[in-house]
Structures are given as C-alpha cells and as structure tokens.
Structure 1
Amino acid sequence: MRVISRQADAGIEIFDENLEPLRILPAPPEVEGWAVSSTRDGLVYATGGAVVRIGPHGDELWRFDLGPNAGNARTDVTFSADDALVWVYAPNVYAGRAAQDEWIVLDAATGAVRSRRALPSSGHGGAQFPLRDGRMLLDVGEGRDGSQIYLAAAASEIHDFGWGDRVLIDVSPGQTRFLTVHHEQEDVAVHDFPGGGVRFRLTPADFGFDEDSGVVVEWSGGFLDDRTVVVVLTAEDEETEQEWWRHFRVDAGTGEVLGDLGIVTIHGYDLRPLGDGTYVITDTDGTLRRM
C-alpha cells in the first residue's frame, strides 16, 4: 500500500495503514516536494535551494545544494522503491539556475551523487513514480507548452516517450500499465508499460456528456487496483458558476465505464487511490478516511 502523508504546521505528518498518525518529521513551510520512505520513518524534502534527508528521530542526515530558485518552479523528490536512492527532478530553467533541467539520483544514506543528467525540458514542476525494478517514471509539466514523460534507471539512458501532450497520472500496482490525461484535458488513456501503446482512450462523451457541455477530464484519479481505474470528470455549472467533479470507475483492461463512485470530495484532486482497491479522501474537518 502507498504511504500516506501530508504537510502540517510542524512538518510532514505520516500515517499508518489504518490512517492513524505515526509521527511528524520536521520540514519548513516552504517545502516544494517531499517523500516518505516505505518504512514510514524517513523523509526527504526539497526547498527552493536544497534537498534534505531527515532521519527517524527528526535529525538532518544530509543536505544537497541545488542553488537558489529565482522563478516559479517546484523541485520534486522521491525515494526509489527500495529506499536506497533519492531521485530529484530539478526545474533549473524556470528556477533560473541553468539552461537545462536535471534529473539527479542521490544515495539515500549519504546524499552522494549517483548520476546527474540533463533533460530536454523546461518544466514548472514534476511528478515521479518509483518502479520495483529500480527504474523511475517522471512527468514534467511545462505549462502551456505541454507535458513530457521520461523513464530511466539510475545509470541508464533516459527514454523519452516523445508525446509532449500527455500528463502521467498513475502506474498500475502490477506495473504493466499506466494512465495519462491529455494536456488539454480532452481524453484519458490507459497505456501498456513499458512500451506506451494505447490500450484504450476515453473522452467525456464516453461517460455520457455532450461535446458542448464543457466537461473535461481532470488531471487526477488513478488505479484503484490492477483491474480498475478512477477517472475524474469536471466542469463549471452554467447557472451557479461553481466547479463540480465526479469520479467514475473504468475497467483498466477494456475501457468499459463501470459507473459513478457516488462520493463527495473537498476538491477534484483529493481522492488518492492506494492500489489495493481502496482510496483515501479528506473530510471537511481535515480527517482522512480510507474507503
């Protein structure tokens, strides 16, 4: 099951499988991205200028300097699946640090550089997805210019899927498929992994919405389990001008729309699938619920 954590006033709050609070590890308010180890007792976070590793007792184990962030960009950090490495997406171009973004791999125990490679992107931020075989998937959001998806091992060449218009949303628990949404929110697709071939593609019309309804696919959702994905549809109500969103279950193999989940969330990005058939949402009082 995926580790659940969230930012709190005192740092990063970490929960167990029953959503009981385990601990809070210290992190400053200006954190841009963070990740918790699979053992739930280690933290790595990024600020505008550094990546910091925090140990189980809240002590700083090491710090890796990135240089100042003079622009509108957010660094992403995550652990490898075995917690041995820390992967860093550094949006150097928009941060004003360098002419190219970087994908950096650090030793999780020491902070030593294992690899440091330039990326052909100019991203505002990124999202990384650890794979059990040690590789990492990376989605780089380039704002109005689109979104890039990359795959690499710590020391291998970087594979560029080359689309430029797909946003990576999630990877299936069995790591045989992945989910993307069109950058302009026109459709959602499930792809074979690692080849990237499209297994199926759905538009809002496939969920029963007219083309002129203004409904689009949200950049959220994910795999409930290997057989089912959650797809989020959203639009603005014409009368109230209030945004609404609905969560649909879709067969991950065939693309059959299985129905509306029938739940209410505080926003269109709140639902977090855990990959075991359950998901986490947040009550209006801030309490996490696993369903």
Structure 2
Amino acid sequence: MRVISRRSGDDVQVFDEALEPLRIFPLPPDVWSWSVSSARDSLVYATDDAVVRIDPAGRERWRFELGPRGEYAGSFLVDAVFSADDALVWVYAPQAEADRGEQDEWIVLDAATGAPRRRFPLDSAGHGGGQHPFRDGRMLLDVGEGQDGTRVYLAAPDGEPLDLGWADRVPIGVAPDESQIMTVEYEQGDVAFHDFPSGVVRFRLGPEAFGYSAVEFAGGYLDAETAIVVVSDGESWRHFRVGTGTGEILGDLGIVTMEPDDLEPLGDGTYVITDTDGTLRRM
C-alpha cells in the first residue's frame, strides 16, 4: 500500500489505508521535499543544504550536509526519497545550480545512519528533480533543466546511472507491476506509455484526442489496466481513464478537484483527492 501523506502548514500528516490520521511529522519552514518510510515511522526532508531524517516527535536521527550554497546560486530544489525497502535514501542534489560544483549529484545514503554509500556525478544542471523507487532497489530520476528540457536517469545502488535519453519527457507514474511508465511531453503536447525496462513507446495520445489543448503533469496508474490522464484548456481540467494496453480512452472520470494534480492514484483501483473542506477522500 502506497504511503499517503499531505502537507498541512508546517507539518506532514500521514494516514492509514482508511485515511485515518496515523501521525504528524513537524517540518521546518520552506521545506518542499519529504519522504515517509513505508513503515510510516520516519521521515526524511531536504533543505537547500542538507538532508535530515527525523522521528515522529521531530527529533533528528541524522543530518547529511550538502555544503553551503555558492554566492551566485540560483533557484533549485533538493529531493530526497526512501528506497522501496526503506534501507536507503536517494538524494538528487542540483549542485551546479547551487554553485557547489560543475555537475549535479545523485547520492545514495544509508537510511539508518545517513552515511553515503555511493555518489553519482550527473551530466545535468537541473533546478530540481523527482524520484520513483522500484521494488528491486532501483530508482528513476527526472531532472528539470528549465528551458533546456529534462534528463531521465535509472540506477541501482551498486550500478551506474543510465541516461534513458528522454530529453523531452517527464515521468508521471510507474505501473503497479512495474512493466510500464507513463510520461508527459515537456511542452505538454502528449502523454506516452512506455514498456519498461526497454523504454519503447506503446502508444501516445495528444490532448486533442480528449478535446483539450494540453496534457497536465498529473495523473498516473489507477491499476494495472487503467491510467488517469489529466488534460486542460487553460481554464479548466478533466480526468480521463485510459486503457494502458490499448490506449483506448475509457471516458471522463467525472470528478472535480481543487487543482489538476490534486488526485493521487494508489494503483489498486482507488485514488485520493482533497475535499473542499480540506479533508481527504479515497474513491
């Protein structure tokens, strides 16, 4: 079961499968990247210059320093994510944008101690990144390079990062059986479904197929056979179900959300949205 968590003020709320509040982790101000362990008993967060693991009381278990930002550092976001088995913490560090070096780094930390296991230099200069853990220990990373597009990498803890060559794709989700990846074109011109690990495109759909002008960076796998694709026209957005094997558009999901990305598919046929009063609903 995927961990369900939401930011609420300066806290991160963690829920059980029935969306009952399980615990609250306090966060420092201006932290936008965090990951809750699958056991739901620990959280890591990233600041501009460090990655920190805390317990539910907010007590620091360890801190990994990334180094001070340079004098001419730009806008950037560090990302930290637990591996699927909670044994490691993977960190995307946009070192070039932070003026800490000429290359970005992908760092693998021991989740128990914060000690570095591996440090991979990346040939990217990103503003931020997003990570997707796989059950076998591998991690997928997409790096946003602003007007220069994206870079997408795949790595195992004991291997070297593989650049998947998706300079114009943003990964949105991984199928529950990990046999497929859903991506959206960087200019929002289409959604594509790739066989994994080959990366071969099974099919693409442009926004016009749904009667809209853009595909949003949102949605994901509802279950192994169905994905949710979010499309918009600049003023409104809708969520459509798509068959992951054929590309058949199965119809509008028929819901209204607060934002285009305020829908989290859980991979078991259900999804979570935020109600108008701020509470979560699982549907």
TM-score (normalizing by structure 1): 0.94
Deviation at 1:12, TM superposition (A): 1.5
Matches of 1:11 and 1:268 in 2, distance apart?
23
Deviation at 1:26, TM superposition (A): 2.0
The amino acid of 2:267's aligned partner reads G
1:262 maps to 2:262: no
Q: Structure 1 residue aligned with 2:198, among 195, 218, 221?
A: 195
SS of the residue corresponding to residue 97 of structure 2 reads helix
Matches of 1:138 and 1:126 in 2, distance apart?
7
Unaligned runs of 5+ in 1: 210-214, 237-242
Q: Which residue of 2 aligns with 1:48?
A: 48
Q: Which residue of 1 aligns with 2:102?
A: 99
1:1-291 equivalent positions in 2, closer than 5 A = 1-69=1-69, 70-209=73-212, 215-236=213-234, 243-291=235-283
Q: Cα RMSD (Å) of the superposition? A: 1.1
Identify which range, 248-257 or 47-56, moves more after superposition: 47-56
Q: Does the 8 A contact of 1:32 with 1:48 survive in 2?
A: no
Q: Which residue of 2 aligns with 1:240?
A: none
SS of the residue corresponding to residue 64 of structure 2 reads strand
Deviation at 1:71, TM superposition (A): 2.2
The amino acid of 1:264's aligned partner reads V
Deviation at 1:58, TM superposition (A): 2.9
The amino acid of 1:227's aligned partner reads E
Q: Does the 8 A contact of 1:13 with 1:25 survive in 2?
A: yes
Deviation at 1:92, TM superposition (A): 1.1
| % same residue | 65
* Per-residue Cα deviation, 1:222-271 (whole angstroms, up to 9, x for no partner): 000111000000112xxxxxx21000000001000000001000011101
Deviation at 1:68, TM superposition (A): 3.0
Q: Structure 1: which 4+ aligned runs deviate by more than 3 Å?
A: none
Deviation at 1:56, TM superposition (A): 4.1
Matches of 1:36 and 1:88 in 2, distance apart?
14
Judged with a 3 Å threshold, the aligned counterparts in structure 2 of structure 1 residues 111 and 257 are, in CA distance, closer, same or farther, namely same
Unaligned runs of 5+ in 2: none
Q: Does the 8 A contact of 2:33 with 2:78 survive in 1?
A: yes
Q: Does the 8 A contact of 2:220 with 2:264 survive in 1?
A: yes
Deviation at 1:11, TM superposition (A): 2.2
Matches of 2:12 and 2:227 in 1, distance apart?
28
Number of residues of Structure 1 aligned to a counterpart in Structure 2: 280
